[in-house]
Chain A
Amino acid sequence: MSRRPVFRHPNLPKNDLGYTRRDYEGLDSTLCAGCGHDSISNAIIRACFELSLPPHRVAKLSGIGCSSKTPAYFLGKSHGFNSVHGRMPSIATGANMANRDLIYIGVSGDGDTASIGMGQFIHAARRNINMTYIVMNNGCYGLTKGQDSATADRGSASRKGLPNPFEAIDLCESAVQLGAGFVARGFSGDKAQLVPLIKAAIRHKGFSLVDVISPCVTFNNTPSSTKSYHWVRDHMEATATFDFIPMRPEITTEYEEGDDQSVAMHDGGLIHLHKSDNSFEVTSRRAAIDALEHYREKGQILTGILHVNEALKDTHEIMETTKVPLNSLTAKELCPGNDTLQGIMAGYR
């Protein structure tokens, strides 16, 4: 597999940590030219660069499928884990339990999440694992050449032209129902919206879902597919325009009051939503579900931030684990010692 050139232009812009955008890149993609997933990888790169994340403090995990290949294409200085089909959430859960101090980005596909991995997906959401879960959703199985997935809309045609007879699973609606604290939907063809979505998701403490419609140019970019570029562009409705403002006191004091809605993130960052007629209270689960259902009935795809709740406890807080990463504890802190053991022995005599 080819690697990108080592050469760096000396004047590349640097972020607060002194890293350039190149420091967040990975290997060259081997996905099909025009694949929506590559756009999402680039959005992740840009989001991490703009957030000034230390690349090596990110752990990137995935399952199996075209989408799950993408962690190789971003954050080359991070540890990656390409696990097995649909099991990424449990691997990420264990990794998070071992070291709560890293930033976890899970990448999955619609087959990987909504079928074989549905069980693990919903339980990661309900446990509120502190991770960003990005679904690259193209409504089909790419690696096995175009079969319908569980997110393909009923009636939409697959590559072979047959209409899908079954209802689609809406991952965003499921996540909201399960109590996920951050739920958003983006479109790989709308980077202006997608990058701040990913940035806000990463900064959210707890489980954050970013479901990204990402057309499969080879098997599912037909006019009759509801996951094609042109269909999504023609039927996309955004909740509201918004900014994500990272924690910078001099900036967070500048936002304007009025009709806009602002949500403070746990680290002091701010999601600043500029309301429009179609906006709703993003902190309300019911409003999010109503809005999703409303646009579904209209045959439209609602994108943007759908729900945010920064007050939820993440898994570590719920379980009251120590604030020190468990993988860093020493034998002295873990082993109760022989005297204690002999006390225990006495109880079994």
Chain B
Amino acid sequence: MNKLTSVNDFVVRFANINGSGSASANNLFAKAVFRLGVPVSPKNIFPSNIQGLPTWYEVRINEQGFLGRRGGYDFVVAVNGQTLKQDYDHLRPGGYFFYDDTRSLPEEFNRRDITVIPMPLTGLANREIENPKLRSLLKNIIYVGALAALFDMDFSVFTDSITKQFSKKPKLAAPNIKALELGYNYASTHFDGICGLCVARSDKLTDHILMDGNTATALGAVYGGATVAGWYPITPSTSVVESFDRLTRRMRLDEEGNRRAAVIQAEDELAALGIAVGAGWNGARAFTATSGPGVSLMNELLGLAYFTEIPVVLVDVQRTGPSTGMPTRTQQSDILSCAYASHGDTKHVLLFPQDPKECFEMGALSFDLAESLQTPVMLVSDLDLGMNDHVCEPFEWDDARSYQRGKVLDEAQLDALDRDWGRYLDSDGDGVCYRTYPGTHPEKGAYFTRGSSHDEYAAYTEDNAAYKRCMERLERKWETAKTMVPEPDISINDEGAGSGMIFYGTTAHAATEAVALLESRGTPLNTMRITSFPFADSVAEFIRCHDRVFVAEQNRDGQMRTLLINELGGRPGISPDKLISIAHMDGTPPDAVSICDAVTQKMKGGAA
């Protein structure tokens, strides 16, 4: 048997039971890899359940910095009896099966192409951990200690992490460190040299951070000056507003200790967005966070905000649909429902972050865009980005940066007006009009906001020409939006390449690696990561310049492809059959090999 051997390039899968405290232990392991300077990508694959059902935690370690899923598992920590056989069967040949041998493996576990590593986790915990309440929790820490020995990792990184984690509760640090040592010592004694996988200190990560996207988005909202959040809990977006609430309680207090933020947990998603829209109308930077089912409910008010031209930010952390779908699995399947949310001719500005750094930057930018354009802006993230930790560069904030509050007339400006003011007069020809906040001026600037048809002076009208003028102006504003949203990230790997690949959001991680794999196989592809909607002209140009363009995304129907065709399909050189969908939709993040294989197959199949 050829054992798998690798330094800093392998995948560990933890098979646990939901609610058993394994997540923090597994996270301790991932963080230790990160702190050794090695790029790491942990992904929590969990059920929509609090306790008892199977859960997995997958850690990809890759010194080259590819942080998407790779596909396949080299090492399995199997501590869930419900999935033991499945975890055993799915292990790659040459891999390692680490399990709790307090109960021995049944006879059918008879693979000869893997290495079995039995460790009496339960027995050790029962024997060595005095506090019975802590035994099941610390059993997880014991196996983390064992992994430190098996992968020959610097043990002090683990103990330092524990010390840091429990700095405010030092009494808890001691039993955790003891559990780590139990595992480490046992594995060192019994399994010396058994494992060919190793995590060695590296210099690949310097000042990088390891953070989840929802926390980063919340930080973006704090730094972007958001003051009002209306929200309704829904997985996987909940921690966006919870983090915003926590951060503002810490960092946004006035001299008397009162809060410079209002966070209201609403009665439903309709009210959540209503609160944000009301605050946006009244001059506050306001947002809500939700997921696909919430976006469905918010459609009505998104249409209102679009037509009444009220700035508001919506963070959509996508999960698997349709309907309730798989609430704790990831997907990119809200693209169309966000782009055209609500009835009538509506279009919304979308931003697609790929990592926490962009969650932060786009989170802050979204408020500038919303106010500059006086329209809803949606930050479209997903569960993988929102709830999993990601390695990324640290965030920076330019203290000289000021908020772009858009075209708002204050009292002095209203006084200085020498001509009639109309809320919906396109004075500058860019489709964006001047607004006023309620209460600004005793005589000037008051207007009526209404979702029914209105003229340039905000008066109700059913005049056909006035309605048409309004809708055409909103189209002009859409053109203005194209000049303000982030440009796509285009990478020309080969000037002569006839094929390109488009991706966005978290698909970027696996897609980038897939492109590298394809290049190594003699098939160079140019790439474009779409970062926003409306599409900049460079998006159309990229498609036009290639004979065929693969669109990799995480849904069944190729929603981004549909959006591209719908928005750009009529232009010269952009035909629908040029855009080839590479769709992944099983609720897990895509892996590089699958994308690579799909592209190869489509090419062999003669896809145009």
From residue B296, how far is it (CB to closest CB) to chain A in Å?
15
Are B209 and A345 interface neighbours, CB within 8 A? yes
A residues 304-349 touching B (CB-CB < 8 Å):
315-316, 319-324, 326-329, 331, 333-338, 340-342, 344-345, 348-349
Q: Is the CB of A123 within 8 A of B281?
A: no
For the complex, give the distance between the alpha carbons of A72 and B459 in Å.
Answer: 10
Q: Pick the contact of A78 from B230, B267, B438, B459 — CB < 8 Å?
A: B438
Residues in A with CB closer than 8 Å to B505 are none
B166 within 8 A of A: no
Give residues of chain B (246-289) contacting chain A, Cβ–Cβ below 8 Å: 251-252, 254, 256-264, 266-268, 270-284, 286
A85 to chain B, nearest CB (A): 9
Write the B404-444 contact mask toward A (1 if CB under 8 angstroms, else 0): 00000000000000000000000000000000111111110
Query: A81 at interface (Cβ–Cβ under 8 A)?
Result: yes
Take A77-B442, A101-B439, A335-B397 as given contacts and tell me if A321 and B261 are in contact as well, using a CB distance cutoff of 8 Å. Answer: yes
Name the distance in Å between A101's Cβ and chain B's nearest Cβ: 7
Closest to A348 in B: B209
A327 touches B284 (CB 8 A): yes
Whether a CB of chain A sits under 8 angstroms from the CB of B394 is yes
Q: Residues 498-514 of chain B: 1 if any A CB is under 8 Å from the residue's CB, otherwise 0?
A: 00000000000000000
**Contact across chains for A78 and B446 when beta carbons are under 8 A apart:** yes
Q: With a CB–CB cut-off of 8 A, which chain B residues contact A268?
A: none
Q: Which of B50-58, B217-225, B485-493 contacts A (4 or more CB under 8 A)?
A: B217-225
Segment with Cβ contacts to A, from B59-67, B145-153, B449-457, B566-574: B449-457
Query: Is B251 a contact of A348 with CB atoms below 8 Å?
Result: no
Are the C-beta atoms of A90 and B439 separated by less than 8 Å?
no
What's the A-B contact tally at a CB cutoff of 8 Å?
Answer: 229
Q: Given contacts A55-B442, A87-B270, A331-B402, are A321 and B279 in contact (CB under 8 A)? A: no
A344 touches B442 (CB 8 A): no
B130 interface residue per 8 A CB criterion: no
Answer whether A90 and B449 are a contact pair too, CB < 8 Å, given A99-B283, A99-B439: no
Residue B301 lies at the interface, judged by CB distance under 8 Å to chain A: yes
Contact B301 A72 (CB under 8 A): no
Contacts of B187 in A (CB 8 A): none
Closest beta carbon of chain A to B207's beta carbon, Å:
7
CB under 8 Å from chain A, chain B span 549-582: none
A179 at the interface (CB under 8 A from B): no
Residues of B within 8 A of A56 (CB): 438-443, 446
Chain B residues near A89 (CB, 8 Å)? 271, 274
Residues of chain A from 52 to 83 with CB closer than 8 A to chain B in the complex: 54-57, 59, 61, 71-72, 76-83
Contact between B252 and A337 (Cβ–Cβ < 8 Å)? Answer: no
- A102, CB-defined interface residue at 8 Å: yes
Chain A nearest Cβ from B352, distance in angstroms = 23
Contact assessment for A94 and B268 in the assembled complex, using a CB-CB cutoff below 8 Å? no
Q: Which residues of B contact A97 (CB under 8 A)?
A: 227-228, 262, 264, 275, 278-279, 284
Contact A120 B402 (CB under 8 A): no
A299 at the A/B interface (Cβ < 8 Å)? Answer: no
Q: Are B259 and A338 in contact (CB under 8 A)?
A: no
In contact, A83 and B439 (Cβ under 8 angstroms):
no
Tell which of B209, B222, B228, B251 touches A94, judged by Cβ atoms closer than 8 Å: B228
In the assembled complex, A130 has its CB within 8 A of some CB on chain B: no
B482 on interface, CB distance cutoff 8 Å: no
How far is the CB of A273 from the nearest CB of chain B, in Å?
33
Complex: A328 Cα to B225 Cα, angstroms = 11
CA distance in complex: A78, B227 (Å) = 24
A81–B281 Cα distance when bound, in Å, is: 9
A321 with B262: CB separation less than 8 A: yes
Residues of B within 8 A of A102 (CB): 282, 438-439
A228 to B169, CA, bound (A): 68
* B276 pairs with A94, CB closer than 8 A: yes
Q: How far is the CB of B250 from chain A (nearest CB, A)?
A: 9
Q: Is A251 an interface residue (CB 8 A)?
A: no
Given A90-B230, A94-B282, A334-B227, does the pair A326, B261 have CB atoms closer than 8 Å?
Answer: yes
Q: Are A82 and B449 in contact (CB under 8 A)?
A: yes
In the complex, B300 has a CB within 8 A of chain A = yes
Interface centre among B251, B401, B448 (most CB of A within 10 A): B448
B325 to chain A, nearest CB (A): 25
B155 within 8 A of A: no
Total interface residues on A, using CB and 8 Å? 62
- The reply on B109 being an interface residue by CB < 8 A is no
Chain A 124-149 near chain B by CB (<8 Å), digits 1 or 0: 00010000000000000000000000
CA distance A325 to B362 in the complex (A): 26
The reply to whether B260 and A326 contact each other, CB–CB distance below 8 Å, is yes
A98 touches B283 (CB 8 A): yes
**Contact in complex: B278, A92 (CB < 8 Å):** yes
Kindly state whether residue A93 has any CB partner on chain B within 8 Å. Answer: yes
B108 sits at the interface (CB 8 A): no
Q: Kindly state whether residue A95 has any CB partner on chain B within 8 Å.
A: yes
- Give A241-264 as 1s and 0s: 1 = Cβ < 8 Å from B's Cβ atoms: 000000000000000000000000
Measured in the bound complex, the distance between the Cα atoms of B447 and A328 in whole Å is 20
Q: Is the CB of A345 within 8 A of B279?
A: no
The docked-state distance in angstroms from the alpha carbon of A344 to that of B281 is 32
**Which of A127, A326, A329, A336 has the largest count of B CB atoms less than 10 A from its CB?**
A326
Does A91 belong to the interface (CB within 8 Å)?
A: yes
Closest to B284 in A: A98
Using Cβ atoms and an 8 Å threshold, which residues of chain A touch B280? 94, 98
Task: Give the distance to chain B from A286, nearest Cβ to Cβ, in Å.
Answer: 26
* Cβ 8 A contact of A95, one of B35, B266, B279, B460: B279
- In the complex, the answer to whether A335 meets B225 with C-beta atoms within 8 Å is yes
User: Are B396 and A341 within 8 A (Cβ)?
Assistant: yes
| Interface presence of A6 (CB below 8 A) | no
Q: A81-B281, A123-B266 are in contact. Are A76 and B261 (CB under 8 A)?
A: no
Pick from B211, B282, B448, B460: contact of A99, CB below 8 A.
B282
Query: Are A94 and B259 interface neighbours, CB within 8 A?
Result: no
A99-B438, A338-B396, A345-B209 known; A329 vs B282 contact (CB < 8 Å): no
Q: Is the CB of B251 within 8 A of A93?
A: no
Query: What residues of B have a CB within 8 angstroms of the CB of A31 in the complex?
Result: none
- A94/B396 in contact, CB under 8 A: no
Q: Which residues from B are CB-within-8-Å of A319?
A: 259, 262-264
Q: Is A119 an interface residue (CB 8 A)?
A: yes
Most A C-beta atoms less than 10 A away, residue of B35, B258, B270, B439: B439
Q: Which of B148-177 contact A (CB under 8 A)?
A: none
Interchain CB contact under 8 A, B278 and A93:
yes
Q: Apart from A61-B278, A93-B274, A321-B262, list 6 A-B contacts with CB within 8 A.
A: A94-B278, A123-B267, A326-B262, A326-B284, A338-B398, A342-B394
A-B contact pairs, 8 of them (CB 8 A): A1-B460, A94-B230, A96-B278, A319-B262, A320-B257, A323-B256, A327-B283, A341-B395
